Amino acid sequence: MNSARSNNITPAQAYQELVERSRELSRINAIGSLAGWDQEVYMPPGGSASRAEMVSFAAELYHRKLTESRFGELLGIAQSGKLSAGEAANLREWRREYDRGVKLPDEFVVRAARLYSESFDVWQKAKRESNYAFFAPNLAKIIDTGREEAKYLGGTQNPYDALLDKYEEGLTSVKCDALFTQLKAALIPLLRKVKTAKNKPSRDLFQGASFNIEKQRVFGQQVSAALGFDYNAGRLDVSEHPFTNRIDTGDVRITTAFHLQDPLDALFSTVHESGHGIYEQGLLPEYRGTPLGTTGSMSVHESQSRFYENHLARSRPFWEYWFPKFQDIFKSETAGIGFDDFYRFVNRVEPSLIRTAADEFTYHLHIIIRFEIERDLLNGALDAAQLPEVWRQKYQSYLGVDVPDDAHGVLQDVHWSWGSFGYFPTYSFGSAYAAQIEAAMRRDIPSLDEALRRGQFSVPRLWLNEHIHKYGCLYTPSELIKHATGKPFDHADLINYLNNKFKSVYGK
């Protein structure tokens, strides 16, 4: 698989060998992706044990290949050459991954992968039975494993920061605090206004009507295809927790979850995951198998899904195009519902229990709760046994809601079962990036709303292809945001966006 074995090679030869190794790593990654997708979408229960073995086998193989000393030698040789910007970016990302990889012992990587794969099944069962106690022993192990990982990765005072950096290069607890402080300051007055608002949007627009699942699926698929998700290079399936899984640029899979009495939940999930999928499909195939052919930061990824879900699919012009079609498909179910009622319904603010069903405003409070809990779990200020109680207290104090049981509380998210501590904050950063991207797109395309009203969804997609997608990992996340929007990351666009949206629904 690796042609040259000597150190007597030129930087260009070393770079080429790195490309070959990167492609091989990418093939192993694809195996892990397929195994993970299948586990959540189609695998029968009897497959759990051997699937855990398959996933940990692929993880171990990846880790071994990544951390071969040859990889380090090649990085050193290649770095001494004259590099194009793209080559330099590939080297930067390979170096980042290699340096992190060599810090983690093989044994740890295998053990962690097996634990996460098994824990996913345990979490599913615990959630189904709303029984946190069943999941708690696994979570305790996962927390220990997270601390262990942070210790290996080191380099920062705060163990949580080591994990945050995995998902967004350079992200720290301090940066999270800065964003979350701004968000709290903006959101708390808005939530107060919601409570006292006179003309509130309907909370139950469809009044128990039943929406045929097959029709929902067809409509969702039509919408996502119109937005630009390419079904020749992707699929839509059903899973408990919607997700996007890239096997390869030409094979990107999204999922949703249907509910008979709530057609919008599945639709917004489909649109959200389509945003992720369109990003993956927008990578340039010529870079396949190298970092330039992959998406980099989780926050930028999340900016794409949130742009599609919130900035497009909760906007007036979007629904001016789709609402008549929606009404056509669900005639009796939507009889008597006016456009304005519908628009205000899909944008209503309502403190709730479930993060994935939360509105754009209170959503960030769900994230802040997870951020605080993760930070405290990792720092040892909190342990697994206390979680349901802490969860209840925080939901009461931040959102004013009572948590009735574990399934609607601490068990709702899959992330911790996978050991993904430090992932949640990227959702809020994703929202902030999405708002900054929308502002830039509107400067470039003053007629954007007109295009959306006409169903010309290739207009925003091509802008994103051009300003975000095609770059892959060429830039670091902060460089990319600056390059795409013309200014460094700035909370202000998100705050402005939320204030404007709020006015459009509640009138000042």
Active-site residues, by number, are 273
Among 11, 72, 81, 250, binds a copy of itself (CB under 8 A): 250
Place of tokens 């300051």: 185
Among 17, 93, 248, 372, binds a copy of itself (CB under 8 A): 248
Q: Which stretch binds a copy of itself (CB under 8 A): 25-33, 327-335, 388-396, 453-461?
A: 25-33
30 part of the interface to a copy of itself, by CB under 8 A = yes
284 vs 303: CA distance, rounded Å = 19
DSSP 8-state secondary structure symbol assigned to residue 81:
S
Distance of closest approach, residue 3 Cβ to a copy of itself, in angstroms: 13
54 part of the interface to a copy of itself, by CB under 8 A = yes
Residues between 377 and 436 with contacts to a copy of itself, criterion CB under 8 A: none
44 part of the interface to a copy of itself, by CB under 8 A = yes
Q: Phi and psi (nearest 5°) for 254?
A: -115, 155
34 part of the interface to a copy of itself, by CB under 8 A = yes
122 part of the interface to a copy of itself, by CB under 8 A = no
On the 0-12 / 13-18 / 19+ scale of CB atoms within 10 A, 205 is middle
> How many residues make contact with a copy of itself (CB under 8 A)?
38
50 part of the interface to a copy of itself, by CB under 8 A = yes
| Residue whose C-alpha is closest to residue 172's, from 456, 414, 425, 438 | 425
- Beta strands 244-248 and 251-256, pairing class: antiparallel
31 part of the interface to a copy of itself, by CB under 8 A = yes
Mark residues 199-238: x for contact with a copy of itself by CB under 8 A, - for none. -------------------------------xxxxxx-x-
258 vs 269: CA distance, rounded Å = 9
Distance of closest approach, residue 285 Cβ to a copy of itself, in angstroms: 9
Among 27, 103, 193, 408, binds a copy of itself (CB under 8 A): 27
β-partners of residue 252 are 234, 246
Q: Which stretch binds a copy of itself (CB under 8 A): 52-60, 290-298, 300-308, 395-403?
A: 52-60
47 part of the interface to a copy of itself, by CB under 8 A = yes
Among 19, 43, 122, 140, binds a copy of itself (CB under 8 A): 43
| Percent helix, percent strand, percent coil in the chain, to nearest 5 | 70, 5, 30
191 part of the interface to a copy of itself, by CB under 8 A = no
- Beta strands 234-238 and 244-248, pairing class: unpaired
247 part of the interface to a copy of itself, by CB under 8 A = yes
Q: Count how many residues are written for the chain.
A: 508
457 vs 464: CA distance, rounded Å = 11
Distance of closest approach, residue 48 Cβ to a copy of itself, in angstroms: 8
| Residue whose C-alpha is closest to residue 430's, from 483, 477, 479, 386 | 477
With helix as H, strand as E and coil as C, how does 282-344 read?
A: CCCHHHCCCHHHCCCCHHHHHHHHHHHHHHHCCCHHHHHHHHHHHHHHCCHHHCCCCHHHHHH
496 vs 182: CA distance, rounded Å = 12
114 part of the interface to a copy of itself, by CB under 8 A = no
Cβ proximity to a copy of itself: between 29 and 297 the closer is 29
Instruction: List the alpha helices (DSSP H) in 412-456.
Output: 425-444, 448-453
Mark residues 283-302: x for contact with a copy of itself by CB under 8 A, - for none. -----x--------------
Q: Which stretch binds a copy of itself (CB under 8 A): 28-36, 84-92, 203-211, 375-383?
A: 28-36
Binding site for a copy of itself (CB under 8 A): 1, 24, 27-28, 30-31, 34-35, 38, 42-51, 53-54, 57-58, 60-61, 230-235, 237, 247-251, 288
